[in-house]
Chain A
Amino acid sequence: MSGQSFILLNTLCSEYGVEIQWVHGLRDQGLIQIIWIDGAEQLHEDELPPFEKAVRLHRDLQVSLQDIDLVFGLLDRIETLQHEVSRLQQRLSSYE
Chain B
Amino acid sequence: MDYIDYYKVLGLERNATDEEIKKAYRKLARKFHPDLNPNDKDAEKRFKEINEANEVLGNAENRKKYDQYGKDWKHAEEIEKQRQQYSRQGNSGASQGFSGSGFEGFSQGGFGGEGGDYSDFFESLFGNRESGGRQRFRGQDLQASMNLSLRDVFHTHKRELDVNGRKIRITIPAGMEDGQKIRLKGHGGPGANGGPAGDLYIEFHIQNDTPFRRQGNDLYSTVPLDLYTAILGGEVLVDTFDGKVKLKVEPGTANGSKRRLKGKGFPVYKQEGSFGDLILNFEIRLPEHLSEREKELFTELKNLRQS
A contact residues vs B (CB 8 Å cutoff)? 1-8, 11-12, 15-17, 45, 48-49, 52-53, 55-57, 59-62, 71, 75, 78-79
Whole-angstrom distance from the CB of A63 to the nearest CB of chain B? 9
**Counting CB contacts under 8 A, is B259 at the interface?**
no
**Residue pair B134, A2 in contact (C-beta under 8 Å):** no
Tell me whether A52 and B192 are in contact in the complex, defined as CB-CB below 8 angstroms, given that A16-B135, A75-B38 are known contacts: no
Contact of A1 among B107, B134, B142 (CB under 8 A): B142
Give the 6 A-B CB pairs with smallest separation, nearest first: A45-B192, A5-B192, A3-B164, A1-B142, A52-B109, A7-B137
Give the number of chain B interface residues (Cβ < 8 Å).
26
**Residue pair B189, A56 in contact (C-beta under 8 Å):** no
**Residue pair A45, B29 in contact (C-beta under 8 Å):** no
**Residue pair A6, B140 in contact (C-beta under 8 Å):** yes
**Residue pair B139, A5 in contact (C-beta under 8 Å):** yes
Contact of A3 among B26, B144, B190, B193 (CB under 8 A): B190
**Counting CB contacts under 8 A, is B191 at the interface?**
yes
Q: Can you name 10 extra interface pairs (CB under 8 A) apart from A3-B164, A45-B192?
A: A1-B163, A1-B200, A2-B142, A11-B137, A15-B108, A16-B109, A52-B135, A55-B109, A61-B29, A71-B35
CA distance A43 to B163 in the complex (A): 23
Tell me whether A60 and B51 are in contact in the complex, defined as CB-CB below 8 angstroms, given that A11-B137, A16-B135, A53-B35 are known contacts: yes
Q: Which residues on A sit within 8 Å (CB–CB) of B192?
A: 5, 7, 45, 48
Q: Which residues between 14 and 43 of chain B lie within 8 Å of chain A, taking CB atoms?
A: 26, 29-30, 33, 35-36, 38
